[in-house]
Amino acid sequence: MDVLFFIGVMALFIGIYAFLGYLGYKKTKTTEDYYVAGRKMGATMVAFSYGATFISAVALIGFSGIASVYGHSILWLAFLNIFVGIFIAFVFFGFRTRKMGLELNAMTLPDLLGSRFQSHRLQIASGLIIAIFMVAYTSAVFLAIASLFQVTFGIPYELCVVLFTIIVGIYLIVGGAYAVMWTHAVQGIVMLVGMVILTLGIYAMLGGIGPAHEAAASLSVDQLIAIGSPAATQAPNGLTSMPPFLSPPFMMVLTLIFGVGIGVLAQPQLITRYLTAKDEKALRRAVPYGGIFILLMTFFAFSIGPLCNVLMVQNNISYPTKMVAGVATANPDAVIPVIVNQFFPVWFVVLFLFAILAAAMSTAASLFQTAGAAVARDVYEKGMRKKLAPDRLILLTRVATFAIVIATLIITLYPLDVVAFMTAFFFGLMACTFLAPYALMLYWRKTSRGGVWAGMLGGFIFTMLWYVLVYFKTAPKIIGHSLIGDYTINMLDPIFIGLPLSFLLTIVCSLYLKQDTSEHKIMEKTFTAMKKKTS
């Protein structure tokens, strides 16, 4: 690898990010500017920002690797990513969220909940949950990307972590939401170019769509065993077939598809994107752009994962491994980097690494931004019960974001087991905690403060208990074994039970603990605003 070439491209990107951070700083005058880019973003920017936040390095590298293990059945997740993650999200959640946000002058999800239900405590509690778990999740994003750079370039892990965190931290703290949105556009373009070239290249090497899929379907168990691919056991019906119904691989695919596919609706960092749109038209026009972006990202990434096995078999390349407790274990995360290194020219290796870096940075920037806002606006300002002047609040948010960036840096440099668990919890936890209160807040007039507390805490506590006591990946590491031995139960993502439970609790408790006068007044106000056709 040409280190000078790499440093040159890196310097170019740092220059672009620094410039956009400076522009964002100059444009930021109000708290709305800092939190939601002045609510002035057009369709393309909203779509790019939503897509770049949605698609992290884990989605591209991690899930392509998972597809190389479980085969094309993981494409159901790509379907949900577009149908639920874009269409349902924007059409059924985006417009109403934006209108409610405008009416209540809310700029974060906890802000929406707190203002809608007239509860500082609700805002503080949800802000705390988001801030704490988001730090862990952001640290995981950096951990993954730093490991990738260490393996590919031999750059020390610590240097990568410090470098990436500082770059993202600086342009975010200085430039606020404007800088985040603009850098998302740059990062989104790099991600698109990288994924499209990689996918077209792999399909071209294998003779096109049909021949490539047929080659993957015809791989025998012996061939997969010969290269050490876990697909030999995890894709028992072949790489282009669904696994047997209710078998462990089926349960694994099911839990991934629904955990991530539905969980996306309640991610606070994505909800903030709706609030940046300048009008309803921008959100409507973002739907096709977002659909195409996610198609070129996840559909392409999940399609090429299983095909990597074909390339490895045809070229006698061993499936990548990593040492876990002294034992060589299959490492799906390294599949795409290995294929890129082996089959693509050097310029593309650099481009692809920057695409992955862009995916990690864009997600991390949104996470930092959401966590910083949660601490400053939702926890500190509401906890103090004092309205701060806009410039004071922006300063406070910058300080809070800086503290979060430093905390993330320390956690990433000295990763603890608890962080790994919190990361594993993140998607399911956000969905089970916030989706029911958030959806009912938008659609059901009778939703009350008591109901939202019950649904939020019920979902949160159930999900934590499920991960600690039952879930097959986390429970054995925390308490030694899962309390439920049946794999069809313990492999289920908590979303299957936690989400209906959270809906039930929110509805039942809203019926018993009815809205008070102030809540009712706000409800009438927001629902009237949401009925208005245009904005």
Alpha-helical segments (H) within 154-235 = 157-205, 209-217, 221-227, 231-234
Examine residue 238 and tell whether it contacts other proteins (CB under 8 A).
yes
Which of 87, 344, 444, 527 is close enough to bind other proteins by CB under 8 A?
Answer: 87
What 3-state class would DSSP assign to 295? Answer: helix
Show the site string, 266-295: x = touches other proteins by CB under 8 A, - = not.
---------------x--xx-xxxxxx-xx
The pairs formed by 442-446 with CB atoms below 8 angstroms and a separation of 24 or more are 442/93, 442/96, 442/97, 442/100, 442/530, 443/96, 444/507, 444/510, 445/523, 445/527, 446/510, 446/511, 446/514, 446/515
Q: Give whichever of 74 and 336 is closer to other proteins, judged by the CB atom.
A: 74
Neighbours of 104 (CB within 10 A): 18
Q: In terms of CB distance, is 118 or 303 closer to other proteins?
A: 303
Which SS3 state, helix, strand or coil, does residue 229 take? coil
Binding of other proteins by 419 (CB under 8 A)? no
Helix (H) or strand (E) holding 391: helix 390-413
Does residue 241 touch other proteins according to CB under 8 A?
Answer: yes
Nearer to other proteins among residue 156 and residue 208 (C-beta): 208
Task: Tell me the sheet residues that pair with 327.
Answer: 324
> Is residue 242 a contact residue for other proteins (CB under 8 A)?
yes
| Other CB atoms within 10 Å distance of the CB of residue 396 | 18
- Of 41, 75, 340, 441, the one binding other proteins by CB under 8 A: 75
156 counts as binding other proteins under rule CB under 8 A: no
Can residue 313 be called a binding residue for other proteins (CB under 8 A)?
A: no
- Cβ at position 532, least distance to other proteins in Å: 16
Minimum distance from residue 377 beta carbon to other proteins (Å): 32
Q: Token pair for residue 507?
A: 């509805």
Nearer to other proteins by Cβ, of 71 and 259: the residue is 71
344 forms part of the interface with other proteins (CB under 8 A): no
Distance, CA of 511 to chain centre: 33
DSSP string, 35-99: HHGGG-B-HHHHHHHHHHHHS-HIIIIIHHHHHHHHGGGGHHHHHHHHIIIIIIIIIIIIHHHHH
216 in contact with other proteins (CB under 8 A): yes
Q: Residue 454 corresponds to which tokens in the numbers above?
A: 């019950």
3-state SS, residue 327 = strand
- Taking CA atoms, 185 is separated from 76, 277, 532, in Å, by 27, 14, 31
Shortest separation between residue 210's beta carbon and other proteins, angstroms: 5
Is 210 among the residues that bind other proteins (CB under 8 A)? yes
- Closest by alpha carbon to 228, among 303, 321, 315? 321
CB nearer to other proteins: pick between 27 and 99: 99
- CA atoms of 71 and 74, how far apart (whole Å): 7
Instruction: Point out which span in 118-126, 165-173, 208-216, 270-278 binds other proteins (CB under 8 A).
Output: 208-216
Tokens in use for 123? Answer: 């805002």
- Minimum CB separation of residue 207 from other proteins in Å reads 11
Residue 240 interacts with other proteins (CB under 8 A): yes or no: yes
Based on CB atoms, which residue is closest to other proteins, 88 or 420? 88
- DSSP summary character for residue 275: T
Q: What is the phi/psi pair of residue 327, to 5°?
A: -115, 135
Minimal distance, residue 234 CB to other proteins, in Å: 15
Q: Which stretch binds other proteins (CB under 8 A): 173-181, 235-243, 377-385, 411-419?
A: 235-243
Distance between CA atoms of 117 and 125, rounded to whole angstroms? 13
The residue among 43 and 357 lying less far from other proteins, judged by its C-beta, is: 43
Under rule CB under 8 A, residue 223 binds other proteins: no
Q: Across the strands, what pairs with 330?
A: 321
Residue among 290 and 459 whose Cβ is closer to other proteins: 290
Write down the least CB distance from residue 497 to other proteins, Å.
24
Of residues 79, 348, 444, 487, which one binds other proteins by CB under 8 A?
Answer: 79
Among 214, 221, 395, 413, binds other proteins (CB under 8 A): 214
**What x-and-dash track marks residues 15-54 binding other proteins by CB under 8 A?**
----------------------------------------
Q: How many residues bind other proteins (CB under 8 A)?
A: 39
Stretch in the footprint of other proteins (CB under 8 A) among 158-166, 240-248, 315-323, 483-491: 240-248
Residues lying near other proteins in the complex (CB under 8 A) are found at 71-73, 75-76, 78-79, 82-83, 86-87, 91, 209-217, 237-238, 240-242, 281, 284-285, 287-292, 294-295, 299, 303
